[in-house]
Chains A and B, each alone.
Chain A
């Protein structure tokens, strides 16, 4: 079945550091891929998405590229801010379904 693996957190960085959060998935097809973010005390928000191979999703300085050959969708940001502190979830769409398969989430803590 479908699954997703995210790097374990917490990830602690200093402000302006480079961020990478790894995400790999299993699927029989080519699912749409999503990153959601959950800020403290808030609901899930879409951060970015990619719908086909080699697509790059981007938003708020975050980027992720759909890598079909490695079944990966790693999240990157060149310079993190304290306000980026949150939990980040990678989520592909399941095969032949409309449900999202979420990873366990990666908590990011950015220190001033």
Chain B
């Protein structure tokens, strides 16, 4: 069990550029979640997948954001036409599918800075 991994750990980009982040969940987990955390705040939910199906999306996830999990394993989060307000830590978590009591295990996050 190697834990949830995320890549890259840091990303600096210029406003208007597109960025893509990757998350690899714990291998036997079939639920995968994305959250966003801004400085001094708690994480906010963005979206989650069960296997390859995206089952819930937050209103925070504007049209510029898209997430995929094509084979039910790793996931990508893409932000198009980045804005300075997108600067945040993007967190990925995974859990197994058993019940709603399942613990979500978090990765180290990808810190995005938009200049």
Contact = CB atoms under 8 A, between A and B. Distances in A.
A20 interface: no
Q: Which of B44, B48, B95, B101 has the most C-beta atoms of chain A within 10 angstroms of its own C-beta?
A: B101
The contact size tier of chain B is 20 to 34
> Majority SS of interface residues in chain A?
loop
Contact of B45 (A32, A34, A51, A99): A99
B40 A100 contact: no
B104 interface: yes
Contacts of B103: 34, 46, 49
Contacts of A89: 42-43
B62 interface: no
23 contacts: A32-B100, A36-B106, A43-B91, A43-B108, A43-B109, A44-B43, A46-B105, A49-B103, A89-B42, A89-B43, A97-B56, A98-B95, A99-B45, A99-B58, A100-B35, A100-B43, A100-B104, A102-B42, A102-B44, A104-B40, A104-B41, A104-B42, A105-B42
